[in-house]
Amino acid sequence: MIQASIIGASGYAGGELLRILLGHQKVNLRQVTSQSKIGELVSSDHPNLRGATRLIYESLGDLKKCDVLFVSLPNGISMEYMEKFQKLAKKIIDLGTDFRLNSIQDWETWYQIPHKNPALLKQFVYGLPELHRKEIQKTSYVAGPGCEATVSILTLWPLIKHKLILPEPIIIDAKMSSSQAGNKATAGSHHPERTGVVRSYAPTGHRHTGEVEQELAVGAARPKVAISATAIQMVRGLLVTIHVVPNKNVTEIDIWKAYRQEYGREPFIRIIKQKKGIYRYPEPKILQGTNFCDIGFEIDSHTKRIVLIGAIDNLTRGTAGQAVQCMNIMFHLPETTGLEFPGLHPI
């Protein structure tokens, strides 16, 4: 059994990790921490786990050595303590933003605070299995991608790699859920204000832009990516509508081929493009709790544009599920272990 611990388990990402790891047949979840809730039952924050575990939040200082450490801390904190964490476990999977970007310049551009440990940046592999499986197999340190970056990169990457689309413009219109903003109540998350919104919370300047551009810099040109994010009535889930320009004479068959070639054997990617039915394109509502990334597309002959559609659960595929998929790769387990939940319908 893999001995695992979680640092920062009281948030939504931590809760989703708890759910998955408690059901993972090869993992023994040893310790979880929350500095503000030491001594409390984890089920006080995560009521779905009532009866499933008697785990109690412990202090960082009480952490014992383990095989793999999941770190789920706010931006800028992880980089401060990472060297200490490295003494606790050989393998570390960080869910935060601190080690996602390879370049210190990129980090400071998008996060606008100095990085406290730039030397560590190159030790971390960007934890997107479909793009970096081989590196993840060998590395000790994984930086989990952002949820918005995950779905955008997975949707775009085969078309860029196969040179089917121009590196610019790439316009990502993201429809976001409320759990993405975390578990702290704010004026904007107050139910009467947040319910039913179509809130343009980040029309420009989304921080995941850096990650997306880094990962899509396949071959020559680094693409320019424009993200506009709108929060809608949804607790879990994320859908991107991506508007791109095809290279000349690109056909539907070319696109199918690119996706099939890159993802044909991927256990967590499904190409969804149906002629009839009510779930003809990717739909995040039926992905809740699953590790799938569903991808669809349509060619717009009127404007010579391709519309790509990608959907995930931001907490599972976008955070905790993907982290566990990386762990499975790092420990040479079948990738789907612990991630078998197919999702609910209706929901």
CA gap 308, 188 in Å, rounded:
30
CA atoms within 13 A on the CB side of 242: 35
Report whether 59 contacts 38 (CB < 8 A).
Answer: yes
Q: Which of 75, 186, 251, 261 binds its own copies (CB under 8 A)?
A: 186
The verdict on 251 binding its own copies (CB under 8 A) reads no
CB atoms inside a 10 Å sphere around CB 207: 18
The verdict on 305 binding its own copies (CB under 8 A) reads yes
Query: What minimum distance in Å lies between the beta carbon of 169 and its own copies?
Result: 7
CA gap 55, 68 in Å, rounded:
17
| # residues contacting its own copies (CB under 8 A) | 93
Tokens encoding 38: 């030491």
Query: What minimum distance in Å lies between the beta carbon of 24 and its own copies?
Result: 11
The verdict on 24 binding its own copies (CB under 8 A) reads no
The verdict on 347 binding its own copies (CB under 8 A) reads yes
Alpha helices in 75-146 (DSSP H): 78-88, 104-111, 129-138
Site for its own copies in 120-149 (CB under 8 A): none
Active site residues: 147
Q: Which of 196, 248, 249, 253 binds its own copies (CB under 8 A)?
A: 196
CA gap 129, 293 in Å, rounded:
12
The verdict on 243 binding its own copies (CB under 8 A) reads yes
Q: Which of 39, 61, 219, 277 binds its own copies (CB under 8 A)?
A: 277
The verdict on 214 binding its own copies (CB under 8 A) reads no
Query: What minimum distance in Å lies between the beta carbon of 340 and its own copies?
Result: 6
CB atoms inside a 10 Å sphere around CB 6: 32
The verdict on 91 binding its own copies (CB under 8 A) reads no
Site for its own copies in 279-298 (CB under 8 A): 279-286, 288-290, 292, 296, 298
CA gap 296, 105 in Å, rounded:
34
